[in-house]
Amino acid sequence: PVASLCFGAACIWCTRSLRIRVIKRVRNFRRFVFIWTVLWFFLVGLPMQIVYVSVPVVQQWPISEAPGIPTKLTIDPEWPNGKPHVCGDISEMKHRLTHSLQNKSKNRFVRRLLHILGQKLSKKVLPCMQVVRIFWLWMLAELALKFYCASVLGYFELLVLNNSDGRMMIGDPSDLEKPVG
């Protein structure tokens, strides 16, 4: 976020010169940032993590519950195609948060309560499918904002091409769509 603000401020500062070459460079840079954003979201959001669960070898009820029965690892039926890696990142953040809160607490009862509360809240408040949905909605919102910024920059370029200084234009705004002569 800080880098985006710095780049945005640099782009605004560069376009103050009202030279077409500089505005085109800024537009090309914005295209690069857009492509980089899409690439980043796909590289972070698409990887899957195969989740295994341990199930007893014998599936009959009284025997499967007995202690010491051998188990085998199988793919989790809840995530047959793999669990999105974003979910693992969020759950690790939740575990680090609860762990840091537990370390700050000196009372053993409060630490245990925070641990149980953290586990239950992480499953109910932000389940994996909701995390994935929020992730992709954030991507769409950010891309929509980048499209809007690109359209404003394109309109600004049209204004400069039609001898405007960005504040005032002589003539009819409907003439902007006509070829530059």
Average pLDDT over residues 33-53: 84
Q: What pLDDT is attached to residue 165?
A: 66
HSE of 153, CA atoms in CB hemisphere, 13 A: 23
Tell me: pLDDT of 137 over 90. yes
Question: Exposed/middle/buried for 42, CB within 10 Å: 0-12, 13-18, 19+?
Answer: exposed
Report how far residue 53's alpha carbon sits from residue 126's, in angstroms, rounded to the nearest whole number: 21
Q: Which one, of 144, 114, 164, lies nearest residue 34 by Cα?
A: 144
Average pLDDT over residues 162-174: 66
The pLDDT > 90 percentage for the chain reads 3
Q: How far is CA 77 from CA 31, 35, 151, 165, 176, in A?
A: 41, 35, 46, 62, 58
Average pLDDT over residues 142-171: 76
Q: What pLDDT is attached to residue 170?
A: 66
Q: What pLDDT is attached to residue 181?
A: 55
The pLDDT > 70 percentage for the chain reads 83
Tell me: pLDDT of 148 over 60. yes
The string of DSSP codes covering 81-99 is T-EEHHHHHHHHHHHHHHH
Q: What pLDDT is attached to residue 140?
A: 92
Close Cβ partners of 31 (under 8 Å, ≥ 6 residues apart): 150
Identify the bridge partners of residue 49 per DSSP, sorted by sequence position. Answer: 83
Report how far residue 137's alpha carbon sits from residue 129's, in angstroms, rounded to the nearest whole number: 12
Tokens at 43, concatenated: 């590289």
Tell me: pLDDT of 168 over 90. no
Contact criterion met (CB below 8 Å) for 30 and 150: yes
